Amino acid sequence: MTGEIMRILPRTLGLVAVAALIPLTTSAGASATVNPHAKDLESLGTAPGNAEESRSLTAEVHQAERDDSGVLLSVTWSIENTGGDQVSMLWLRDRSYSYSGQNFAGVTAASSDGGFRYHPIMDGNGTCLCSGSASNDLVQNLGSGDKVTYWSLFSVPDDIDTVTVEIPNFEPIEDIPIS
């Protein structure tokens, strides 16, 4: 029992510290940095769309980086329209979780063994710490050949070295290394 508590305690304390800082960085308009351009990022993996609304789209993961404390995992991902027609992106905004506002809270990181699924962190106001209306522009329509980049922030155990990124209506993007 004591060993289990000692294993969980550092992660719990880290999450409490993050929760205390989140209101300072996400209140009133959330001051997130501008998304990097996907063309400037390397590709760690891609996946085709697997639903009618995503059939001409490709999802791509560019970065999966831990913060200095090892508690937070930031994932940068993008969607590219490889088809010939403009595609509505409104379906990608997830409403199945209790996050407030429009966001991409449906994007998850799963342990590579499939044992655990991690959802984006929510701040004290119920806002997803992921791409959303408070942090950056959500593209309503994606033109042919266009690509848009987004991000999601997760809390995952420090003993996980790779994740599978799951974006709704796309095949899973497996074995993404965490740096």
Question: 31-49: per-residue pLDDT in tens?
Answer: 333 445 656 789 999 999 9
Q: How confident is the model at residue 172 (pLDDT cuts 50, 70, 90)?
A: very high
* Rounded distance between C-alpha atoms, residue 167 and residue 79, angstroms: 10
Q: Which of 79, 75, 77, 80 is nearest to 162 (CA)?
A: 75
Overall pTM surpassing 0.85 (yes/no): no
Instruction: Tally the domains of the chain.
Output: 1
In a domain, 5, yes or no: no
Name 109's bridge partners.
118, 165
Average pLDDT over residues 133-154: 82
CATH number at residue 63: 2.60.40
Q: Which domain holds residue 153?
A: 45-177
Query: Quick check: helix, strand or coil at residue 10?
Result: helix
